[in-house]
Amino acid sequence: MAAMTHVLGLDLANPVVVGSGLLTDQERNIRRLLETGAGAVVTKTIHPSPPTGLDERILRLPTGMINSTTYSKRSVGHWLGILRSLAHDGLPVIASLHADTPAELAELAVQVEATGCRALELGISCLNEEAGLDDSAERVHSYTAAVRAATPLPFSVKLASGEGLNARATAAARAGADAVTISDTLPAAVVHPETGELELGGVFGYSGPGIKPLVLASLWQLRRAGFQLPVLASGGVQSGRDVHDYLRLGAVVTQVYSALHTDMYDTLARIVAETAETAETAGTAGTAGPSDPALEARRPEQVQS
Ligand SMILES: Cc1cc2nc3c(=O)[nH]c(=O)nc-3n(C[C@H](O)[C@H](O)[C@H](O)COP(=O)(O)O)c2cc1C
């Protein structure tokens, strides 16, 4: 058995968390993913005014998938009912939230807190909105600070690997985040072999095994620079070995998403079982992270880069 893991105020039975996405847009799925053994589940990102009229699709690639989806199309009111019911049953569910402005996101966080939900993830780094996303430390700071001022609930800020990540993660830490989630999908493009045009009509979010080495590198660089907050790692997890790779580099838990688009429940059960088996041989059961003595030795201030 994998040891209990503590993150965002939740005690998880294991470090395999189902990440936010289409598969976590329904209460039924969330409940069944937990019954199947997920340590926790992150909801699809809830947004008071999700974009409408976009062509939201998924394209499978040999090394993962590219998707042009944005936020849940279910209303906030509908989600508050779901979160109330999940909280009533004491389930480890993390509500993923975003909004058009920091003030609206803070207001949404307060509404979600009232449902009894115990942890949040700020899904502020989706690049699939029409204008794309030019993220910055200042933007991350404003969203994070607004939510911190509005609720005592523990929350993680989800960021995308890439340029300026250390500065964005540091901005989240300084503005009061309890953890960061790395990484959201990364910008990618696929050319249609016949038309020569970009598939899905542009640059959209890439996920799956192709991004795992990039996310591992980000995690390593953050830790080497002395970043101290817990990191929830997300990117290309398909096996227990992948989970332990992230734990060994200092993640407190890992999220798994794209892999579950194939045989969702069976795949999750396999990854959870492999994670427990690997923990016995590798000695990593969600105990790495800032308390890891090897990392403590390099300790340090939050960094800018
Ligand atoms: C179809 C699809 C929908 C997603 N929707 C969301 C979302 O609503 N909010 C969010 O924070 N991340 C979303 N993600 C990102 C995943 O949660 C995850 O961070 C990313 O895909 C990397 O992990 P993976 O390689 O295990 O999929 C989505 C990913 C995919 C493929």
- Provide the total of helices (H) and of strands (E) in the chain, helices listed first: 9, 14
Domain count, the chain: 1
What is the position in ligand 1's atom list of the atom closest to the CA of 71?
8
Domain residues for 226?
A: 5-52+70-186+207-296
Both structure tokens of 111: 């509404």
Both structure tokens of 278: 């690997």
Cα–Cα–Cα angle for 19, 304, 103, rounded to 5 degrees: 55
CA 154/CA 60 separation, integer angstroms: 34
CATH number of the domain bearing residue 220: 3.20.20.70
Place of tokens 């009061």: 176
Q: Does the beta carbon of 50 lie inside 6 Å of ligand 1?
A: no
CA 293 to centroid of ligand 1, rounded, Å: 32
Residue 86's pLDDT is 98
What is the position in ligand 1's atom list of the atom closest to the CA of 64?
25
Helix (H, G, I), strand (E, B) or coil at 30: helix
Q: State pTM to two decimals.
A: 0.92
Q: Does the beta carbon of 210 lie inside 6 Å of ligand 1?
A: no
What is the position in ligand 1's atom list of the atom closest to the CA of 181?
19
Judge whether 193 lies within some domain: no
Judge whether 194 lies within some domain: no
Judge whether 47 lies within some domain: yes
Give nearest CA residue, ligand 1 atom 12.
20
R_g (Cα) of the chain, nearest Å: 18
Judge whether 81 lies within some domain: yes
Helix (H, G, I), strand (E, B) or coil at 114: coil
Judge whether 28 lies within some domain: yes
Judge whether 152 lies within some domain: yes
Judge whether 198 lies within some domain: no
Tens digit of each residue's pLDDT, the chain (305 residues)? 556 899 999 999 999 999 999 999 999 999 999 999 999 999 999 999 998 888 889 999 999 999 999 999 999 999 999 999 999 999 999 999 999 999 999 999 999 999 999 999 999 998 887 666 778 999 999 999 999 999 999 999 999 999 999 999 999 999 999 999 999 999 999 999 999 999 999 999 999 999 999 999 999 999 999 999 999 999 999 999 999 999 999 999 999 999 999 999 999 999 999 999 987 776 655 444 444 333 333 333 344 43
Q: Does the beta carbon of 166 lie inside 6 Å of ligand 1?
A: no
**Which candidate, 265, 305, 301, 287, places its Cα nearest to that of 34?**
265
Q: Does the beta carbon of 68 lie inside 6 Å of ligand 1?
A: no
